[in-house]
Amino acid sequence: MKLKINKVNYEGEGLTSINGKTTFVKGAFLGEEVEARLIQENKRYDVYETIELISSPLKRVKSFCKIDSKCGGCSFAGLQYHEGLRMKELGLNDLFKHNGFDVNVRIHENINELGYRNKIKLHVCDGVLGYYGENTHNFVSLDDNCYIASSEIQEVISLWNSNILSDGEVTIRSNNKGELLIIFNSSDKPVIDSLKHNKNIEGIVWNNKCIYLNDYFYEERNGLKYMVHYDAFFQVNPYISNEIVKFVLNNVSSNDIIYDLYCGVGFFSLELARFVKEVIGIEEVENAIRDAKENAGINNLFNTKFYVGRVEDVIPDLKIKGNKVLVDPPRSGLHQSVIDTLNNNDFERIIYVSCNPLTLVRDLKKLSKYELKSIDAFDMFSYSSHMECVAILERVL
């Protein structure tokens, strides 16, 4: 069926209508005409996939990846970078306006279009590395390499052989020095002899047990040093995460006492601690708080305190009262009890860092005691449909 694309959504899918029914079209963008076929039928909407591009007003390019259409990770790989960025901006603005927020989302570009990820998770099937296709468990083998990963991660992929592991998962992490952590999850123990020849490897972990060297490495950002264990969250794009830090720091002042909720190993906490009066980090992952405390000591930042536990449980018991809050929750967003806690406290400002625009919109609606002032988007995950958004909210009630 021939379809004309009228809009693009925040996930990078084309939007049109067939007989009044909302229709999502994968692989098509604003203004394009495509030949497409139905792949999913629902009561409220249908999903089509592009099988042929008929015409396009956009700057289409040959994809840098041979499996992007099967993997689904880099849905903008067929567009010139800035053209894809414009599609993301349009989709995000439409999402927020559709939900009643009168803001213009400003997007910040990534100067490193490729090779920007310092962590990737791959599946292993019959000794072959690959991904699962988007929203499926269909295995897609890496035809060559994963070009959004750092060069050090790409090197591990290029040297991979089927003797290392038959089936399971492997996560590869790199730091600013190009050092590597490799984490296996599998029923069979990996054969790591060939990997030991890579001098960049700082440690190998199998099923949460260190089997070679260390289960952590050190990361450095903006003159700060962080201990990062294999299972601890850390921002995956060094350049963009630094840009977000600059933006966050513009929204705080020297007398602030800030709660850093979901603080992880203290990435934002330590950056903030250099410029504000005090930072209180809260995180329910015990290993992450261990790292955060270690990192504060390493960097001589003693105006920090870190607590293990659920945010909604810890805040009511704190004797130190913060005046501003930074939240950086997982993709699932804020738990209702956290939202209640925020609404019931008189924080001057909330800085909400989100990797999921949909849950961000949901939570913004529920934070009824605060007014949304601005939303900025940062291209943390270039060529994919994902973005990192930073919303600034101020207390009004």
- Per residue in 229-255, pLDDT (tens digit) is 999 889 999 999 999 999 999 999 999
pLDDT of residue 10: 81
* Confidence check: pLDDT of 354 > 80: yes
pLDDT of residue 21: 93
Structure tokens at 220: 């450095």
- Considering the chain, tell me which residue range(s) the CATH 2.40.50.1070 domain(s) occupy: 119-217
Mean pLDDT over 115-141 rounds to 93
pLDDT category at 13 given cuts 50, 70, 90 is: confident
CATH top-level class of 1-58: mainly beta
233 closest CA partner among 180, 279, 289, 186: 289
CATH top-level class of 119-217: mainly beta
pLDDT category at 281 given cuts 50, 70, 90 is: very high
Structure tokens at 63: 């994809």
Task: Measure the CA–CA gap between 169 and 273, rounded to whole angstroms.
Answer: 37
The sheet carrying 21-26 orders its strands as 2-4, 33-41, 45-55, 21-26, 14-18, 7-8
Mean pLDDT score of the chain: 94
pLDDT category at 356 given cuts 50, 70, 90 is: very high
- 25-58 pLDDT tens trace: 998 999 999 999 999 999 899 999 999 999 999 9
The three-state secondary structure class of 169 is strand
pLDDT of residue 313: 86
355 closest CA partner among 390, 324, 308, 319: 390
- Considering the chain, tell me which residue range(s) the CATH 3.40.50.150 domain(s) occupy: 237-395
Beta bridge partners of 141: 130
Single-letter residue type at 180: L
Mean pLDDT over 357-367 rounds to 97
pLDDT of residue 312: 82
Task: Measure the CA–CA gap between 276 and 23, rounded to whole angstroms.
Answer: 48
CATH topology for 237-395?
A: Rossmann fold (3.40.50)
- Considering the chain, tell me which residue range(s) the CATH 2.40.50.140 domain(s) occupy: 1-58
- Whether the CB-CB separation of 145 and 153 falls below 8 Å is answered with no
Structure tokens at 248: 């966050």
Q: How many CB atoms lie within 10 A of CB 389?
A: 23
Mean pLDDT over 354-360 rounds to 96
Strands 45-55 and 33-41: antiparallel
